[in-house]
Amino acid sequence: MLRAVREAIGGRATGAILRTRTGRRMDRAGAARALTRVARTAGITHPISPHGLRRTFCTTGLVAGIGIRDMQYAMRHADPRTILRYDMAESNLDRHAAHAVAAYLAGMSTG
């Protein structure tokens, strides 16, 4: 990921990371088109969006054990409850509160 950002900025210290061919700041639609092109080149055939990557980033962070507050900061959200809406892995029973309580009552370690 860091390598991709370094390639995108091309040694610049200021300005937008993603730019158009003319050097202007890339808008959302342009970013979505660029992502679709890159995905096709990589052999990804299902629809993908910049927002989908954002949700994936958040979910992966939460699964990796990053705290809600830290993910809130990384995602630049004012309310931590917003982060919970991004969590696509909420059905993961290992992380569900009911699973943790049941494991505790059964005398098992929850991790």
Percentage of the chain lying above the pLDDT 70 cut = 78
Q: String of b and e for 31-40 (b: at least 16 CB within 10 Å)? A: ebeebeeeee
Contact 63, 89 (CB under 8 A): yes
pLDDT at 109: 52
CA pair distance 13, 108, nearest whole angstrom? 52
Please say if the pLDDT value at position 101 is more than 70: no
Query: Which residues have CB under 8 Å from 93's CB, separation 6+?
Result: 99
Percentage with pLDDT > 90 across the chain? 13
Structure tokens at 7: 């390639």
CA atoms within 13 Å, Cβ hemisphere of 58: 26
Mean pLDDT of 69-80: 90
